[in-house]
Amino acid sequence: MKNSGEKTDFVTKMTKFADCCRKADLRITPQRTAIYEMLIKSKEHPSANMVYEQIKKQFSNISFDTVNRTLHTFADIGVAEVVPTGGGAKRFDSTYEKHQHFLCVQCKNIIDFDFDGLDNITLPKDFRKKHTVLRKELYLEGICEKCRKKTTS
């Protein structure tokens, strides 16, 4: 960890992880803990395959299917989320605070951003009468600053 803020965030996420596992009657195994720690430490919204490639170094007998199912279980219990990728491999995020995602269509990097105006979008009254919205998520696609600079150079 680089600073005490990151260390505090790590401890907070691990505490939430343990609490959510207990509430879901899910055993806190060394494999699950390692997968979640890797997800927390990643800055790139990893795919199941990316997590698997790292975790199998520590747990050589772990299967890709176990890692994939574990990541989806984490999303189900609320300690991770599946990030939209426009049809690409599913990617995962351990950040449970409200935020949005931007996917660069060139380098496939996913960038977190937060804009309160997007969190507070009011849906049309007719829609709200017919449906119960449980979650609002906005996902943007485009070309990131790094890739834009490459094409304009």
**Domain architecture of the chain: domains with CATH:** 4-93 (1.10.10.10), 100-152 (3.30.1490.190)
Give residue-wise pLDDT tens across range 10-38.
898 899 999 999 999 999 999 999 999 99
121: left (phi over 0), alpha (psi -120 to 50) or beta: beta
Neighbours of 51 (CB within 10 A): 23
pTM of this structure: 0.81
Q: Using alpha carbons only, what angle is made at residue 142 by residues 102 and 138, rounded to the nearest 5 degrees?
A: 40
Q: Which two tokens stand for residue 8?
A: 């505090």
H or E segment at 58?
helix 48-58
Give residue-wise pLDDT tens across range 87-125.
878 999 987 677 888 999 999 889 888 887 777 788 899
- pLDDT at residue 7, as a whole number: 72
Give the dihedral sign, CA 11/24/52/56.
Answer: positive
- Residue type for position 91: R
